[in-house]
Amino acid sequence: MIGDFVDEVNIKVIAGKGGDGAVSFRREKFVEKGGPDGGDGGDGGSIIIKSTLNKNTLVDFKYKKIFRAKNGENGKNKKKAGKSGENVFIEVPVGTCVYDLETNELLSDLKVPQQYLVVARGGKGGKGNARFATSTLQVPRIAEKGVEGESKNLKLVLKIVADVGLIGYPNVGKSTLISRISNAKVEIADYPFTTIVPNLGVVKINTGYSFVVADIPGLIEGAHLGKGLGDQFLRHIERCSILVHLIDISCFERDNPVEDYILIRKELESFSHILSKKKEIIVANKIDTIQKDTLEKRLTDFKNRTGKDIFPISAYTGENIQELITMVWNHISKEKIEQQKLFEKRIKSAITERIKIQPVIYEPDPYIKINVIKWDNETFEVVGDGIEKLLTRYDINQKDSRLLILNTLEKNGLNKILKNAGVKEGDTVYIGNFAFEYIP
């Protein structure tokens, strides 16, 4: 891409880990009976993508591609919970599609302002030992570890939200037209691909409404395959309500308006079924450069060969420009007015809206598949996905946590599996980084 217009980026998002629960006991001077008072860990921060009207490009992600949310704080004594990690909000332009980079699944199409998508949830904080006290375990030395937050690789693809898309071959006058009908300040020159990024302009209507026009960089034959400026910008007209297809009727730059029209239509159809079905207004530009009788012959020839009406204008002199604006507005007014009401309602409701995020919760599986690896004649290791999950949730170096892990594994047949694997009394058995002497 050239300049500061960026419409496709890859980023990585990493949510925060939940804080660990605390193992703590009351030791106050005048408290006759102490007890466990370890608090819970705080939840990890989540990562949220939010659409905004204040941005129109993804250039912010050109250099910053990794976003991390803070971890939750560990629990404290006196049953004090750790502070949860702050959520991270990533602002993107309205019109951004969010894809999972690994699966290419579309996670959300952010079509309206203030739309939110939680892309990575923070992990749940672990319980402190105060939560494990029972009548039979009055002094628990056990606490949960915080759960890891989600991590994802994402692809952000911007499709400009414009009501009208100006299309046509290079140098047919699109930049001149958009500069005349809107507030857009565009570069205009006499060479191919003057427009190298989409230009946006706002056209105001007497009724107080307005609509957005996108001047799409010149298309050529083979654009859908990446030729010329290629398919970089074809996606930007998929959202448009209507296409204004500009034809150079003067034949100075290109000598066959009908063929030009047919070739561009083929490019649209080859790129997307959506584009092939878009409503269009065909416009003959540069009528100020040819004689009236020549113009009439070419307009009639176009109608006869395509079966479609073509509206004559001069973007340079302004002839028939107001009529063209009225024609476009008549096609899109109903949809645009409804969209405007939706935007206003969405922005208003977002002021008081609160996002509720369920953190990532992990509960160990009751049924665990246990495997045994033999390292030598006297050393073995117990492994398995369920075991790894247990070790991420509980600290095997804590006595009561260790008993919980062993009891869970024994319920899943640990002793029998060890015997079948050839483990003998006195052999060393590893679970995680903890070594046991095996006693049947």
What is 165-184 written as a DSSP string? EEE-STTSSHHHHHHHHSS-
H-helix or E-strand containing 247?
strand 242-248
To 5 degrees, how large is the angle CA 123–CA 129–CA 135?
135
Residue 74 marked as a ligand binder: no
Supply the pLDDT for residue 101. Answer: 95
* pLDDT of the residue at 30: 58
CB 243 within 8 A of CB 279: yes
**What's the rounded mean pLDDT across residues 369-375?**
92
Per-residue pLDDT, 192: 43
Per-residue pLDDT at 299 exceeds 70: yes
CB 229 within 8 A of CB 266: no
Q: Is 316 annotated as a binding residue?
A: yes
Residue 219 pLDDT class (50, 70, 90 cuts): low
Identify the three-state secondary structure at position 387.
Answer: helix
Distances (CA, A) of 170 to 179, 243, 274, 436: 16, 16, 23, 76
The region of weakest confidence among 76-90, 306-320, 391-405 is 391-405
Asked whether residue 373 is marked as a ligand-binding residue, the answer is no
Is 70 exceeded by the pLDDT of residue 183?
no
Tokens 């496709």 — which residue?
8
Question: Residue 190: what pLDDT?
Answer: 45
Q: Flag whether 244 is marked binding.
A: no
367 alpha-carbon distance from chain centroid: 36
* 18 confidence band (pLDDT: 50, 70, 90): very high
Q: Does the annotation list 315 as a binding residue?
A: yes
Q: What is the Cα–Cα distance from 386 to 367, expressed in whole angstroms?
A: 8
Chain-wide mean pLDDT for the chain? Answer: 85
Q: Is the dihedral of CA 348, 349, 350, 354 positive or negative?
A: positive
pLDDT tens per residue across span 80-136:
999 999 999 999 988 899 999 999 999 999 988 888 999 999 999 999 999 988 877
Q: In the prediction, which pLDDT does 138 show?
A: 82
36-62 average pLDDT score: 90
Is 197 assigned a ligand-binding role in the annotation? Answer: yes
Q: Cβ distance 165 to 177 under 8 Å?
A: no
Share of the chain above pLDDT 90, in %: 46
Find the distance separating the first CA and the last CA of the chain, reported in whole Å.
68
User: Does position 185 have pLDDT exceeding 60, yes or no?
Assistant: no
pLDDT band at 1 (very low <50, low <70, confident <90, very high): very low
Both tokens assigned to 221: 């034959």
Q: What is the pLDDT of residue 61?
A: 92
Does the pLDDT value for residue 352 go beyond 60?
Answer: no
Q: Looking at the predicted structure, is the pLDDT value of residue 366 above 90?
A: no
Residue 188 scores a pLDDT above 70: no
pLDDT above 80 for 198: no
Does 196 show up as a binding residue in the annotation?
A: yes
Q: Is 217 annotated as a binding residue?
A: yes
Query: What is the mean predicted confidence (pLDDT) over 192-202?
Result: 61
The reply to whether 294 sits in an annotated binding site is no
Residue keyed to tokens 């490019």: 267
pLDDT value, residue 111: 83
66: annotated binding-site residue?
no
Residue 29: pLDDT band with limits 50, 70, 90: low
CA distance 37 to 14: 31
Better-predicted residue by pLDDT, 336 or 289: 289
Rounded to whole angstroms, the Cα distance separating 88 from 266 reads 44
What whole-number percentage of the chain has pLDDT above 70? 87
146-159 confidence digits (pLDDT tens): 999 999 999 998 88
**Is 195 annotated in some ligand binding site?**
yes
Ligand-binding site membership of 230 (annotated): no
Location of structure tokens 């300049």? 3
Residue 175 assigned ligand-binding role: yes
Q: Mean pLDDT over residues 156-177, rounded? A: 86
Q: Mean pLDDT lowest for which of 29-33, 147-151, 240-244, 344-348?
A: 29-33
* Mean pLDDT on 235-264: 87
How many H-runs (helices) and E-runs (strands) does the chain carry? Answer: 8, 18
285 is in an annotated binding site: yes
The annotation status of 170 as a binding-site residue, yes or no, is: yes
Are 311 and 282 a contacting pair, CB within 8 Å?
yes
Q: Is the pLDDT of residue 225 over 50?
A: no
Checking if the pLDDT of 191 tops 90, the result is: no
288 is in an annotated binding site: yes
Tell whether residue 174 is among the known ligand binding residues.
yes
* 312 in a labelled binding site: no
Q: What are the structural domains of the chain?
A: 8-158 (2.70.210.12), 164-345 (3.40.50.300), 371-438 (3.30.300.350)
Provide the pLDDT for residue 273: 79
